[in-house]
Structure 1
Amino acid sequence: MTLTIYGCYRSRATRNIWLANELGLAFKHEPVIQAGRVPDPKAADAPVHTRSAEFLKVNPNGHIPSIDDDGFVLHESLAINLYLARKHGGPLAPKDVQEEGLAAMWSLWAATECETNALNTLYHRVAKPLAERDGKLADAAAEALRAPLAVLNDALAKDGYLVGGRFTVVDINVSEVIRYAQTGAPELFAAVPLVKAWLEACQARPAFKAMWQARDAEAA
């Protein structure tokens, strides 16, 4: 049985690699890079990227990450994590249909309520070259995050986790989305101390640290 994860560390593939580390899964890593980061994607010596013909055979959408799990191909990082958790079980997986519903709800919530705004704070305050940043867009995105972060803070008030009173795949999925705002809009977290503490606890886990160490070692 072979699990292959396609995608570089400086991408949403971190979510899947972190979970694989938590589950103790052996996997093959294919470090496909975003085509926009390649100086000349059509060059003969270009690294494998999201528009390479060989990768488009894996994911015709041309996005990372994707996985090939012994012939079963799946795209979308949050869905991949839900699949891997369910397949391999254990305390990180939903224990019943209600927890499955909550896992899907929170994963979709993170993608729809938070991710675009969190990324815009990161891109337009930190990641993009100065000439390409839009300060007004970043400020509006940060302001838009206040309400969902308050919702998340309230959800964590019961026991510090999102599902079942324990660390699960849901915490990985949601924290990896909120992580962008840690760098892009750190001022938001004073108002949501439970979110801040939860992020710190998630990122203190050995499996996260192993993923992050590999990410730091990857070329920017």
Structure 2
Amino acid sequence: MLTIYGVYRSRASRNIWLAEELGIPFKQVPVIQHYRTVPAGMLHTQSPEFLKVNPNGLIPSIDDDGLVLHESLAINLYLARKHGGPLAAANVAEEGEIAMWSLWAATGVEPHAINVLYHRLGNPTGEKDPKVADAAVEALRRPFAVLEQALVKSGWLVGGRFTVADLNVAEIVRYAQAAPELFETSPRVKTWLAACQARPGFKKMWAARDAEPA
């Protein structure tokens, strides 16, 4: 059985959402970030037991019948390819596009989107810096314009359908929702993200995330 290590309020949400989309049975092992308030007896990212799974001390990780993988986006690419279906690439060209969009989001969007989230809503230390948030919003205007143009043809990123590329990118773009002005100037991005988050797999994951202690 697939085992996913991580709490819902972490990047493990990406893997849990994909597992729900694909109908993969899985076991979740709650592992919390070490810098948060760790309940007594709960594993955290620096726990010796978890470091045996992922010596990087980061979540998520998976164990899929003995195959241990780290890095949330890579895990999703693996799971989609293994289980197939419409979320996976239909051919090698789509596989390249899916990898391209996932890496684009990780490198060009996520660092800024995280700063929007942390400095508009508050980071784990509770600190907020409006100047950092504003700079991040400005840095995101170009990638949002790129994404807006990419959605013109079909409203999806690859193959005219919802794929793991949309899921991976949506989970990163989600951090920028604390800056609604970005979405007002990119209406296709706003519509696309709403469509991604309207999917039953996302809703099930998000309900469990909401039920988890902050």
TM-score, normalised via structure 2 length = 0.97
Q: Does 1:133 align with 2:125?
A: no
Q: CA deviation at 1:139?
A: 0.5
Does 2:85 align with 1:90? yes
Are the structure 2 counterparts of residues 24 and 129 from structure 1 closer, same or farther at C-alpha, using a change threshold of 3 Å? closer
1:10-25 aligned at under 5 Å gives the runs 10-25=9-24
Q: Does the 8 Å CA contact 1:5/1:68 hold for their aligned counterparts? A: yes
Letter in 2 for 1:22: E
1:84-126 residue CA offsets vs partner (Å, 9 max, x unmatched): 0000001110011111100110000000010010010110110
Matches within 5 A, 1:46-125: 46-125=41-120
Matched residue, 2:201: 207
2:32/2:38 contact within 8 Å kept: no
| Structure 1 residues 129 and 50, CA gap change in structure 2 (3 angstroms) | closer
Q: How does 1:125-164 map to 2 (within 5 A)?
A: 125-128=120-123, 132-164=127-159
Distance 1:39 1:7 in 2: 13
Q: Does 1:169 align with 2:164?
A: yes
In 2: Cα distance, 1:25 partner to 1:39 partner:
29
Structure 2 counterpart of 1:5, one-letter code: I
Q: Secondary structure at the match of 1:10?
A: coil
| Moved beyond 6 Å, runs of 4+ | none
Q: Distance in 2 between matches of 1:30 and 1:58?
A: 12
Matched, 1:29 2:24: no
Equivalent in the alignment of 1:189: 183
Aligned mates of 1:138, 1:12 — CA distance in 2: 21
Unaligned runs of 5+ in 1: none
Q: Deviations over 1:197-219 (max 9, x none)?
A: 00000000011000000000000
Residues 57-100 of structure 1, C-alpha deviations (whole Å, 9 max, x = no match): 00000000000000000000000000000000011100111111
Cα offset, 1:38, TM superposition: 2.7
The amino acid of 2:153's aligned partner reads K
* Letter of the 2:30 counterpart: P
Number of the residue aligned with 1:198: 192
RMSD value over aligned CA atoms? 1.3
Cα distance, 1:73–1:201 mapped onto 2, change above 3 Å: same
Please give the alpha-carbon distance, in whole angstroms, between the structure 1 residues aligned to 2:91 and 2:123.
43
Q: Distance in 1 between matches of 2:70 and 2:33?
A: 15
Local SS of the residue matching 2:7: coil
Would you say the 8 A contact 1:4–1:28 is kept in 2? Answer: yes
Give the SS at the match of 2:32: coil
SS in 2 for 1:170: helix
Give, in whole Å, the separation in 2 of the partners of 1:78 and 1:208. Answer: 16
Q: TM-score, normalised by structure 1?
A: 0.95
Aligned-pair identity in percent equals 70
Q: Which amino acid aligns with 2:198?
A: A
* Cα drift, residue 128 of structure 1: 2.9
